[in-house]
Amino acid sequence: MNRFLFLIFLICGGGNLSAQQLYIPLNKQLLNSYESRLNRKGINFHTSFKPYIVSSLPNSCDNDSIYSYIVTTQKTKKFLPWVYNHIVNENFLSIKDDDFRIAINPYVDFELGKDFNWDKTTYINSRGAIISGDIGNKFSFETYYSENQSLFPRYITNFVIDSNVVPGQGRAIGFKNDRSYDYASGSGYISYTPSKHFNFQFGQNKIFIGDGYRSLILSDNSSSYPLLRITTNAGVIQYTNMWAQMIDKRENSQLGVGFRRKFLALHHLSFLIGKSVELGLFEAIVWQAQDSTSYRGFDLNYLNPIIYYHSVQWNLGSPDNSLIGFNFKWKISNKLSFYNQFLLDDFDLAKSKGKKGFYRNKYAYQLGLKCFDVFGLKGLFIRAEYNEVWPYTYAHKISVMNYAHYNQPLANPLGANFRESLLLLQYNFHRWFAGVEIMYVLTGIDSASGNVGQNIYSSDYSIPNSFDLNGKFIGTYGNYIGQGISSSILYSQFKLNYLLNQHNNLLIELSYTNRNQIIDGKSNISNFITFGIKTSLFNHYYDF
């Protein structure tokens, strides 16, 4: 994908268009400024499927309005003012004409830190580039690539050791001999809007469904993946079809084949009801590309664009992993909104009668409140959120068909079998931003006795006491959230940053994090501080 886009750049010339088909980055700090305006009653906009396309946003969310406090400098050919202007106020390099625009910006993440409980100096050293552009008013493209070396705090390092991936970014390779890692990350896509009713996106990217900090349906937690997304807009109705290829990286790469692959087909139908309610219906199907006997590849049956058509097949015993759910948002006022999600992975009503905690009753739900301009102070934002995921949700009998990609969950980074409470306070004033996050999690993790439902890569067949005397798999009853070895996490973080350039979200940042995980009564503390300059376009979920 990146090579293809690079050829486009070489062939075509540069532009400044009013109808860009690019997507707003998923970075939550960046999105807050947009969402405070989109929360106003009377703004008919579907907010649950992200990223947003620039040209679809209302006029109140245009770039000049969002960054009205930025004062651009006058054009100059003097070297130092020119450099300052292109670092702080403009794209680093830009080529424009009547119907073409191309912008090139560096991608950097240079951070130094100290893990006080590990007695190590942590660092991130990332270098890369972001290239984006528009051809006419219907076609846009963007590509990003970075090369990275990092030494993370201890609990993140332990995650990398266990999973062999850097959270949300890619494959990790040992670097030097001090627990440092080398990894590359990248994405790229083309976006085509033939009319106001349709948009086509093809490339390597991430998707987020919902209005929460977390998503229990689909989040940007894992690495990016190849996808084709078709969005159909008809006023109060938005319908999205998406097909994607996922990777199961637990096994070694095979020569000529690579890692094991699986596919995802997803449908999302969103309704705007009145001036304040949005309701979204969701379905996803996961199937493996190859089993032990044959190569299945992409199943053409899943090109069917009709939502919930697979529910009939599921009830007839389809071998694939099917998930359904909904998301809901209510704008209580211009400053306050309530949101929630519900996901159903599996359910057996007949076997649940008269008994509790049947293992196949797999579901998750979310409740949340967002408040903008709290106490009349513009830029002050508060979010309170609760997430609950029952044991064995997102897992499957055939573990390669679980709801995950590149050794990470596609939904919440905590997997399953947990209760999570989140409180986020953020304040934005012109170029300054301050944020506080407090998270508390109660969960249960596996012991020597077996699978308790937290690790979504464990097969349902590994559930303890789930076979009868004849060896038939019957599952278990009496399951509950937190079963297994008791574990809790208290995570708190303070962040302060200063925006240098709004075009690529380049900022200077200072952060302090304290994480205390208690496993079976034993405390494991990570206590660290970081400072650096970075291009902050992506969410890195280290709060797990």
What secondary structure does DSSP assign to 444-510, as a single string?
Answer: EE-BTTB--S--TTS-GGGSTT-B-TTS-B---S---TT-SEEEEEEEEEEEEEEEEETTTTEEEEE
DSSP, collapsed to helix, strand or coil, labels residue 89 as: coil
CB atoms within 10 A of CB 432: 13
Q: Which residues pair with 510 in a beta bridge?
A: 496, 531
- Give the contacts of 218 (CB within 8 A, at least 6 positions apart): 207, 208, 209, 266, 284, 410, 411
Parse the chain into domains and list their residue ranges.
2-535
Cβ(419)–Cβ(23) below 8 Å: no
How crowded is the C-beta side of 111, counted as CA atoms within 13 Å?
28
Q: Which residues pair with 122 in a beta bridge?
A: 113
Cβ(55)–Cβ(19) below 8 Å: yes
Cβ(321)–Cβ(287) below 8 Å: yes
- Torsion from C-alpha of 205, 495, 517, 542, nearest 10 degrees: 10
In this predicted structure, what is the pLDDT of residue 2? 46
Cβ(6)–Cβ(88) below 8 Å: no
Q: Which residue stretches of the chain have pLDDT < 50?
A: 1-18
In this predicted structure, what is the pLDDT of residue 486? 92
In this predicted structure, what is the pLDDT of residue 15? 35
* Cα separation, 261 vs 406, whole angstroms: 10
- Give the contacts of 237 (CB within 8 A, at least 6 positions apart): 269, 270, 271, 272
This prediction's pTM: 0.90
In this predicted structure, what is the pLDDT of residue 380? 95
CATH assignment of 2-535, among 3.40.50.720, 1.10.287.3610, 3.90.1010.10, 2.40.160.130: 2.40.160.130
* Cα separation, 180 vs 173, whole angstroms: 9
Whose tokens are 């240098």? That residue is: 500
- Give the contacts of 70 (CB within 8 A, at least 6 positions apart): 89, 431, 502
